[in-house]
Amino acid sequence: MKNLLIKNVRIIDPKNNEDFIGDILFENGKVALKAEKIEASAERVIDGKGLVCAPGLVDMHVHLRDPGLTYKEDIITGCNAAAAGGVTSLLCMPNTSPAIDTPETVEYIIKKAKNENAKARVYVAAAATMGLKGSESTDLAALKKAGAIACSDDGRPIEDTRCLVKALKECAELGMTLTAHCEDLYLASKWLMNEGEVSKELNIPGVPNAAEDCGTAREIAAAAAYNLPIHICHVSTKGSCQLIRDAKKRGVKVTAESAPHYMLLTDKELYKKDADYRMNPPLRAEEDRTALIEAVLDGTIDCIATDHAPHSVEEKAVFEKSPNGSIGMETSLSGMITVFDNIGNKDLSALINMMSVKPAEILGIDAGTLSVGANADAVIFDPEEKWIVDTGKLHGKSKNAVLKNMELKGKVKYTILGGEIVFED
């Protein structure tokens, strides 16, 4: 589409401190003009009255399962899910089969996304260690040259602290982002859910908050000792929030993410013994849920990601044997609008900042803004519309949505990528 004009829409562009009712023109894949009123002809004109137009969301924690596990999801279907959730840029994690630990695998992902016209911009997090085994460092320079912008062993921590420090140093030198899965594997062996009152009542093995907190403390200590940046993935505990808050006050170069489900649900969902509520880290207790909301509001948590982790229906069928993980790209914006609505917070600009601007800044990618001349990547949503999450209507291969059957507030109506409408409700 050569040009697209959105009229009478609330434009929220936190990067430019803009929040006003007006028009926005996308032309030749770029933002051409923003104003209170634009008189221009366009191939398509959308009346955005009652809607919000914001920079497309950036999800910096996504599992696309491609290569090797494409019965769960693949690059194209994962991007279809992204588009349905307003996500225009995503970072895919390396725990594929084989792991993303060679330049050839990085190139495969980038090429497939480009050649098959994926409905989101796909960025690659390469493995920090070979095979994600935690003991032998990958060649990050070669992986960066192939196109990777970040590194992680997500799914597991970088087990050998020497490899962690090496990755910290090399990522800083190469301009890559190190995203850390924080978990003490000795404390986290053979669990099915959060360790607490619910796990005790159900007599189900649990993982203590200490497993995450000890991992978070190690990563912060390493980053502080070398004065290098680190990003903490999927924060779920009150203790990790406190550690990150304290580290930021001390000037440690740490950023952090959490996911909507940790602020909407608790481990009480596990009474259902439904494996769709199992993920790593697990749903925690009420005090953790409220601590995470506080951490979002005070800036301890920098951004919202989903840890979108598709699994097949068959894999999720047996509670005790199921792999961890849930999907969330299609529900992330609505989930966070609902979190904010539940506490009476109407600051959509702050929310878009966390879901678009900040992750783009952390990753160093060209996204997160509706500045004139920027990529025409945008999400248009109704902030008031309520809807129920029906897994049968989701756009990826897998249906293991942790927010299934919930009534959420806020509905994506259009997603625009490079000036083209890639999703329309």
Is 366 marked active-site?
no
Half-sphere exposure of 326 (CA within 13 A, CB side): 26
Half-sphere exposure of 20 (CA within 13 A, CB side): 11
Using the Cα atoms of residue 29, residue 305, residue 134 and residue 398 in order, give the sign of their dihedral.
negative
Query: What letters, b where the CB count within 10 A reaches 16 and e where it falls short, cover 182-192?
Result: bbbeebbeebb
Structure tokens, 292: 């995470």
Rounded CA-CA distance 85/208 in Å is 32
Annotated catalytic residue: which of 66, 288, 307, 377?
307
- What does each C-alpha distance from 136 to 153, 164, 172, 215, 221 come to in angstroms? 12, 10, 19, 19, 21
Using the Cα atoms of residue 393, residue 87, residue 92 and residue 60 in order, give the sign of their dihedral.
negative
Residue positions annotated with a catalytic role = 307
